[in-house]
Amino acid sequence: MLKLELKRIFSKKINVFAIGLALILAVIFSGFAVTSNRYVDENGNASTGIMATRKLTDNRRAWKGTLTEDELGKVIEQNKNAMTQSSEENAIYGTTLQPIDDIRGFIISVLTPDAEYDESVLNQITEENIQEFYDTYHKNMEKMAEEYGKTSVQKKYLEKKYNEIKLPVEYESYSSWDTMIMYVETYSIILAIIVGFICAGIFADDFQTKADAVFFSTKYGRTKAVKTKILAGIATTVMIYCMGIILLSVICFGIMGTSGMNTPYQMYQAYSIYIMSYGQYYLLTVVCGFIASMLAAVVSMLVAAKMHTISVAVCIPFFLYCLLPFIGRAFSGYTTLFNLIPTILTNVQASVKVPLIYQIGNCVFRQIPLVMVMYTVMAIALLPFIYKSFRRYGNK
């Protein structure tokens, strides 16, 4: 029965078109991703071709390893030397500044907690300051815990999280992962919309084709067949999401490489409370995108089962992940509510930067894990309602 239901889904022309569109967009997004990084060679020539990220990684390879205070001192020295050179600007950047760009950003991030990115701090660092760099980092962590922890429990939680950061930091160029996280978030929104459209049709098709009377008059029409439709929706979501993300990842990482998978995210956001490598960050983004697609599929199926039409159901994913963020900005005063909306699942990149936490009793939760659990539970909890809504059709 499940095989038959899946055959119905994947044999429908508009569904085949939607899936084909998703895969074509994966290839298009891959093209954008692999050409989005800019590389400047030793002659000052800039390029953004498909090999730019590989060249950028090779350019920064000399700095791979543990960033001790001595290594950071060399970075500061190289930065100051570049500022005093008078040759062609692009050539200076390609040979002296480009290799240390990530590390320069890390130093600035550590020295300017909760402030705007300001490159001028690099010119103010003395040799004595750089030898106390990680001590300064620890002191600033304590300040951040004090600032963002509203209660003693929250402060202890933030201090514990900051203590999990392994110092000194291990560095490897992470350009490919940084780029992919941005594109996989956008692509996951597209997949959620496509999945919602296809899954809504599972429960609306029988009404559109006027076959509902036949469906409900069969032996298992109100029991096993309804469960099979729900299972088919879940299976379809898994297949489409996995196909799209795997295709996007294979193409992009195959071209750009996987350098920086173990580089800590704190290289970019020194005071993020999400203690993870870039590889783990990418996995978190992909899992959040999957939960977003599953939620879109379940809500679309529920609306279609209730209303017996696809027209309203297909708008649900678009509302959740495209319109709701704008509504959230319009009602920014209600921050507690709008910091927990489903949009967070497709905007992980913005959420991991802010040490936003919630407390229930003596338990403290970070924003993203809380949202993940909330909408996973919601998606599962709505399944029985889909079953009840559809099987009761026509009963008085």
Domain assignments of the chain as residue spans, ordered by start:
2-35+173-391, 65-169
Question: Any idea which of 179-183, 326-330, 340-344, 346-350 has the lowest mean pLDDT?
Answer: 326-330
Query: Under a CB-based contact definition with an 8 Å cutoff, are residues 355 and 271 in contact?
Result: yes
This prediction has a pTM of 0.91
Query: Under a CB-based contact definition with an 8 Å cutoff, are residues 247 and 27 in contact?
Result: yes
- pLDDT over 70 at 369, yes or no: yes
> According to the model, what pLDDT value does residue 102 have?
95
Express each pLDDT in 140-152 by its tens digit. 999 999 989 989 9
What six digits make up the tokens of 42? Answer: 């030793």
Query: Under a CB-based contact definition with an 8 Å cutoff, are residues 63 and 96 in contact?
Result: no
Query: Under a CB-based contact definition with an 8 Å cutoff, are residues 305 and 390 in contact?
Result: yes
Average pLDDT over the chain reads 87
DSSP H or E run through 364: strand 363-366
Question: Any idea which of 16-30, 93-107, 202-216, 242-256 has the lowest mean pLDDT?
Answer: 202-216
Express each pLDDT in 182-209 by its tens digit. 999 999 999 999 999 999 888 776 666 5
Residue 101 to residue 39: CA distance in whole angstroms? 12
From first CA to last CA, the distance across the chain in angstroms is 28
Q: Among 77-81, 301-305, 374-378, name the most confident range.
A: 374-378
